[in-house]
């Protein structure tokens, strides 16, 4: 694919809901996939045209969603950004139920129920664990921060810190929103920008990462057990 063709299929839209250019299409070159909005000067990940089309299709087919009873805020929630594997989505539902995470926020191209591939792995937990869909993760995280959630991105990078150490030091507190990224690309630039803390799991072998649903399982139980012990 040449660069001119690649440039044509990029959808560069500022994802921050408080930006004056929110949702507007801008011209962007392929080399600018890690873009900076020219209006609000915040970083974001450029989305392909196919990505945008998949989101629109998902919005149009969105089923009724199960919401929590009352106005209480679940102490622990998880945000899934652009998960392509329905197996991983189903596994996250099941683990969220077991670890006491009260709600899932499914963002971008993340698969949403009802899907047989999700139910096969979740064992029906998507019917008891509340969930919502957001086309744009920046909107989701902005709403969660407005509700008082501490947003914790789960990713290993040059500025991330050990999840366990962050818990022990008091840097990670409830109510907490744990953000899980795409299986290959990880968290988007806007998700990292909006994270209050970026944490990682220690890797003791040769590999540098875990399967995304396995990583959530490990992080979810570290968080859940830590808060249970502290209460």
Q: Which of 65-69, 105-109, 208-212 has the highest mean pLDDT?
A: 105-109
- Write down the pLDDT at residue 3: 44
| Full set of structural domains in the chain with CATH | 3-50 (no CATH), 76-230 (3.40.1280.10)
Residue 28 scores a pLDDT above 70 = no
Three-class HEC string of the chain: CCHHHHHHCEEEECCCCCCCCCCCEECCCHHHCEEECCCCCCEEECEEHHHHHHHHHHHHCCCCCCCCCCCCCCCEEEEEECCCCHHHHHHHHHHHHHHCCCEEEEECCCCCCCCHHHHHHHCCHHHCCEEEEECCHHHHHHHHHHCCCEEEEECCCCCCEEHHHHHHCCCCCCCEEEEECECCCECCHHHHHHCCEEEECCCCCCCCCCCHHHHHHHHHHHHHHHHHHHC
Between 47 and 199, the higher pLDDT residue: 199
Higher pLDDT, 89 or 13: 89
Output the average pLDDT for the chain: 83
**What average pLDDT score do residues 189-193 get?**
94
What is the model's pLDDT at position 216? 95
What's this model's pTM, rounded to 2 decimal places? 0.84
> What confidence score (pLDDT) does residue 10 get?
57
State yes or no: pLDDT of 66 exceeds 50. no
Percent over 70 (pLDDT), the chain: 78
């Amino acid at each position: 694919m040449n660069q001119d063709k690649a440039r044509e299929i990029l959808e560069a839209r500022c994802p921050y809901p408080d930006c004056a250019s929110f949702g507007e299409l801008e011209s962007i070159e392929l080399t600018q996939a890690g873009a900076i909005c020219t209006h609000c000067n915040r970083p974001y990940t450029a989305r392909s045209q196919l990505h945008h089309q998949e989101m629109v299709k998902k919005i149009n087919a969105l089923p009724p969603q199960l919401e929590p009873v009352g106005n209480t805020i679940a102490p622990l929630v998880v945000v899934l950004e652009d998960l392509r594997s329905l197996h991983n989505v189903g596994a996250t539902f099941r683990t969220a139920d077991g670890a006491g995470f009260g709600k899932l926020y499914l963002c971008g191209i993340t698969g949403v129920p009802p899907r047989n591939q999700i139910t096969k792995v979740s064992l029906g937990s998507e019917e008891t664990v509340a969930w919502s869909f957001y086309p744009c993760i920046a909107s989701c995280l902005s709403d969660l921060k407005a509700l008082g959630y501490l947003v914790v991105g789960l990713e290993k990078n040059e500025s991330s810190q050990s999840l366990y150490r962050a818990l022990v030091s008091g840097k990670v507190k409830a109510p907490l929103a744990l953000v899980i990224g795409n299986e290959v690309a990880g968290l988007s630039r806007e998700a990292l920008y909006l994270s209050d803390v970026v944490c990682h799991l220690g890797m003791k072998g040769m590999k540098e990462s875990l399967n995304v649903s396995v990583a959530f399982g490990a992080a979810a139980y570290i968080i859940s057990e830590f808060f249970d012990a502290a209460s």
